């Protein structure tokens, strides 16, 4: 084998290794794009490939319960009826979690519409715009217009560790942030496993 042939072979090997490493590095960005497109299209079969629904459900339950607990703590010195309302809201965590642990819920989360812990809250249905209000909004006082973000959220995405990839959403400088958390599932596969409603 001539020196030129060896040089070309070595260059090809280097190129292949660099391309493979680049693909591995880019894999969570690719997974995020695919799951978001699938969720927006309500393609449940594809969404199932990119979401660990039992883990997401457990995370949502924990996060929404913590959200309601913080509300109760804030309202303790106020109206006792508000505390009762928050306790009733806590009893409705299960249905809210079940509503968000769906392709509609994943689409809402990945489009900047996380659950807010409002009784009766549901993610928007396919073709229903960017609203996360409950079907009967007047009952909870949350209307579609109040829930729907006026503009797409600002997003930041990046690795938190070798096996954890986080997408952070924020609508404005003063608004609360929240994160969608993906874990590596194999060398280049990733799954949405959790949300962090505290940013």
The pLDDT value given to residue 89: 60
SS3 67: helix
The residue whose two tokens read 């949405």 is 192
- State the pLDDT at residue 72: 64
What is the layout of strands, in order, in the sheet containing 154-161? 154-161, 164-170, 177-184, 190-196
Which pLDDT does position 138 carry in this prediction?
A: 35
Residue (of 104, 102, 108, 94) closest to 65 by Cα position:
94
**Residue ranges for the chain with pLDDT beneath 50:** 129-146
Note the pLDDT of residue 167: 96
Domain layout of the chain by residue ranges: 36-196
What's the gap between Cα 184 and its chain centre?
15
What is the distance between the alpha carbons of residues 160 and 141, in angstroms, rounded to a whole number?
37
- Distance (Å) of CA 92 to CA 11, 30, 68, 118, 134: 60, 35, 10, 9, 13
pLDDT at position 148, please? 54
Residue 146 is predicted with a pLDDT of 38
Whether the model clears a pTM of 0.85, i.e. scores above it, the answer is no
- Output the pLDDT for position 93: 80
Give me 199's structure tokens. 């940013």
The whole-angstrom separation of Cα 22 and Cα 146 is 42
**Contact between residue 39 and residue 47 where contact means Cβ atoms under 8 Å apart:** yes
């Amino acid at each position: 084998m001539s020196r030129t042939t060896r040089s070309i072979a070595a260059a090809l090997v280097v190129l292949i290794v660099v391309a493979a490493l680049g693909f591995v590095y880019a894999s969570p960005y690719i997974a995020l794009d695919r799951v978001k497109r699938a969720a927006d299209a309500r393609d449940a079969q594809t969404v199932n490939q990119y979401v660990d629904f039992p883990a997401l459900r457990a995370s949502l339950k924990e996060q929404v319960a913590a959200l309601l607990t913080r509300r109760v703590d804030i309202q303790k010195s106020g109206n006792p009826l508000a505390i009762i309302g928050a306790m009733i809201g806590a009893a409705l965590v299960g249905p809210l979690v079940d509503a968000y642990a769906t392709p509609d819920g994943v689409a809402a989360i990945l489009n900047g519409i996380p659950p807010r812990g409002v009784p009766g809250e549901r993610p928007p249905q396919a073709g229903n715009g960017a609203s996360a209000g409950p079907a009967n909004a007047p009952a909870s006082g949350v209307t579609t217009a109040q829930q729907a973000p006026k503009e797409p959220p600002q997003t930041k995405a990046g690795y938190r560790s070798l096996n954890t990839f986080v997408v952070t959403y924020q609508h404005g400088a003063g608004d609360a942030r929240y994160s969608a958390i993906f874990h590596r599932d194999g060398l280049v596969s990733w799954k949405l496993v959790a949300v962090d409603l505290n940013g």
